[in-house]
Structure 1
Amino acid sequence: MKKVLSEIKNHVLTGISYMIPLVIAGAVIMAISRVGGSLYGLTDIWDAKYAESGNGIIRLLHSIDGFGGTALGLMFPVIAAFIAYSVVDKLGIVPGLVGGMLVKDINAGFLGAIAAGLIAGYICLWIRNHVKLPQSMASIVPVFLIPVLGTLSTVLIINYVIGVPFTALNVGLENWLNGLSGGNQIIMAAVVGAMVGFDLGGPVNKAAVTTAMALLTSQVYAPNTAAQVAIIIPPIGLGLATVFAKKKYNTELREAGKSAIIMGLVGVSEGAIPFAVESPLKVIPSTVIGSAIGSAMAVGLGAVNQAPISGFYGWFTVEKWPIYVLSITTGSLFVAISSVVLRKKDAGEDNSPIEEEDYTFDEAEWES
């Protein structure tokens, strides 16, 4: 059972890895359009009425928003297709794509897309392994039998078995998140931030980030805001810790600190991993709490990030970006200061030059 769950996790992570660039591309293109629209005082550049605007730039911005929406709309078909691809190679792509499109149409959400990919992949795998035809007809299995039977079986299961519960779950989640306000929304943001800061790019982190990104298609922005803030707080905070207290870190970690700051600024939380591996019981509590503080502060004070971008190049497209940046700074400083306080001076390095004679080999002493 453990092996099966591990395989499923790997298939899902493969699908996510193919989905993320698509989501980023679509959301960034839409963000560019909406920032451009805001320069003209337009907060609804996606509205169809702007397709006939007398201003050519506004028409262009409206079209660009539509292009980004097209890319973002492919998110569920792509993740389903590449989960199926991970299970059974290229044989699963067509059933996965069609299953993902059906999930999108019935609003079964991110979890529905994952289920569609796994269903398509394992159905095609079963057909490939168990349907045996004479040698003269074997070639029709990959080009006809699997695409037809695999796709038909997948869409029937989605539409008549899992579609209704997954749609209800997705709609319920959207309504719950949209209904959050005040303290409840802050708690939600803190939980998302803590998950992102927990394993620094691991499965808990990815679960929070990808779910938040998927909710962008439903115009639910608070989880994404929380996640994107939390992604960059641990590496920046731990990098700053090596600047604030150099004597507490050896040369290797001080160099890792420089890289961590840069990786944090471009939105790569894995920059914090060397510190977490070296001292997990001291580092992870700091990153969890610091990320939760920054995320809760950003969402609670009204910052809104509509794009799945955590790097500095996307900060100024955020609604109320000064609050957003202040939240990142606050969380990062918490991580830095708490890490310094919890850490003793590194015992492996005293930062003084080592005399050469300390390493002199005494042959007579060795022989004695």
Structure 2
Amino acid sequence: MKGELKNIRTYLMTGVSYMIPIVVIGGVLIALAIALSGVEAGTGANVTNPILEKMLNIGVKAFGLMVPILAGYISFGIADRPGLAPGLVGGALANEIGAGFLGGIIAGFVAGYTAKWIKSWKVHVQLRAIMPIFVIPLLTSLVVGTVMYIIGAPISSLMESMTATLKSMGTGNAVLLAVIMGAMIAFDMGGPINKVAFMFGAAMIGEGVYTIMGPVAVAICVPPIAMGVATLLNPKKYTETEKEAGKGAIAMGLIGITEGAIPFAAADPFRVIPSIVVGSSIGAAIAAIGKVGDHAPHGGPIVLPVVDNRIMFIIAVLVGVAVAALMVNILKKDVVEEKKEENDDEEISIEF
């Protein structure tokens, strides 16, 4: 069991290692374009300069490759070259149905294990040459495509249900609503659950209620900033690649790009996701208590010019970041210690 869990982590890290440059390219370019253009009340990020528009478009296109690359290289890690194309297809479909990076992880594992299984088939010698370039990718793509379309409908229904629940809560219990929305924002960082909370907050701006988007704006920036700060507070718990990604994550968080935390969550979901969910929820709750309002459908410190009660906004962000960063560092092990445990597991399995 331990050996299989180690393999799963290895496959995840394969996908994450190839995804990180894409996240950095997309996140930094989008952040620069928005930072140099600014955020306006009512409309949010408003990039009109032609050069900055092109910079933003490059960043958006790079971000569009993030989930397919994650899924493709998870599948590649499991099944080698025959798994790459089906994993990329599954990741693209995860994007299409709005399943986010969690959908990409599912697609990667489905594609990888399906391709690995088909590779094990005993086939006629004349078919062996075309198996890795035709049969395996084709059949695996059909399988992973079917799975992604099957989970698409439940994801859509879940989004509608969550939206209805948030609407039914109204603004009566502002703190509880903020806690729930903060958790939703952090849970899948740009995925379907995140988008429900964000779109609800943005819709309330149109109704003249800005104290819903205020806590959301805080929650949006907590995950990436917290993960970046965590790498600085205790670098022994992170790989060199993660430490570099942490710098980019801080920049993305300042501009309100939650996806900056995705590489960390994909690599270690059971420690990172609970930590950032708690941090974002607490930050959002503090913002609600302080009646923080945000007049723009965007998040992060970049929206400060259009925020009501800016001091409480800053306090909420700082507390949320501190909680998430400290919690994740308490939960995570040192990289050296983790590798030692993996090596010990390998030695035990060899002895058996």
TM-score scaled by length of structure 2: 0.56
**Matching of residue 138 in structure 1 with residue 128 in structure 2:** yes
1:1-368 → structure 2 map (5 Å cutoff): 3-38=3-38, 43=43, 58-134=49-125, 136-159=126-149, 161-169=150-158, 172=161, 182-188=174-180, 211-214=188-191, 218=195, 222=216, 223-231=219-227, 267=250, 293-294=282-283, 296-297=285-286, 301-302=292-293, 317-319=302-304, 320=307, 325-330=314-319
Residues 282 and 320 in structure 2, CA contact (< 8 A), matched pair in contact too: yes
Which amino acid letter does the alignment assign opposite residue 223 of structure 2? Answer: A
* Map of 1:354 onto structure 2: none
Residues 187 and 296 in structure 1, CA contact (< 8 A), matched pair in contact too: yes
Which moved further from structure 2: 73-82 or 119-128? 73-82
Residues 114 and 140 in structure 2, CA contact (< 8 A), matched pair in contact too: yes
Deviations 1:304-347 (A, max 9, x none): 9968xxxxxxx753545765543455568899xxxxxxxxxxxx
Which amino acid letter does the alignment assign opposite residue 34 of structure 1? Answer: I
Which amino acid letter does the alignment assign opposite residue 74 of structure 2? Answer: I
Paired residue secondary structure (2:90): helix
CA 1:264/1:140 → structure 2, altered by over 3 Å: closer, same or farther?
closer
% same residue: 27
CA 1:13/1:176 → structure 2, altered by over 3 Å: closer, same or farther?
farther
Q: Distance in 2 between matches of 1:333 and 1:229?
A: 10
Residues 229 and 295 in structure 1, CA contact (< 8 A), matched pair in contact too: no
Residues 19 and 66 in structure 2, CA contact (< 8 A), matched pair in contact too: yes
Residues 80 and 117 in structure 1, CA contact (< 8 A), matched pair in contact too: yes
Q: Distance in 1 between matches of 2:17 and 2:297?
A: 21
Q: Distance in 2 between matches of 1:290 and 1:103?
A: 27
Shift of 1:145: 1.6
Structure with bigger RCO (C-alpha 8 Å, 6+ apart): 2
Shift of 1:229: 4.8
Which amino acid letter does the alignment assign opposite residue 152 of structure 1? Answer: L
Paired residue secondary structure (1:130): coil
TM-score scaled by length of structure 1: 0.54
Shift of 1:188: 3.5
Residues 109 and 167 in structure 1, CA contact (< 8 A), matched pair in contact too: no
Shift of 1:125: 0.4
Shift of 1:96: 0.9
CA 1:234/1:86 → structure 2, altered by over 3 Å: closer, same or farther?
closer
Shift of 1:266: 7.9
Which amino acid letter does the alignment assign opposite residue 212 of structure 1? Answer: M
Q: Which runs of 5+ in 1 are unaligned?
A: 51-56, 193-207, 240-259, 270-286, 308-314, 336-368
* Root mean square deviation of aligned Cα: 4.7
Deviations 1:110-144 (A, max 9, x none): 3322221111111110111124331x542211122
Shift of 1:290: 7.9
Residues 45 and 65 in structure 1, CA contact (< 8 A), matched pair in contact too: no
The count of corresponding residues between Structure 1 and Structure 2 is: 264
Q: Which runs of 5+ in 2 are unaligned?
A: 199-215, 235-242, 251-259, 262-275, 325-352
Residues 225 and 299 in structure 1, CA contact (< 8 A), matched pair in contact too: no
CA 1:291/1:110 → structure 2, altered by over 3 Å: closer, same or farther?
closer
Shift of 1:215: 5.7
Shift of 1:168: 3.1
Q: Distance in 1 between matches of 2:10 and 2:159?
A: 23
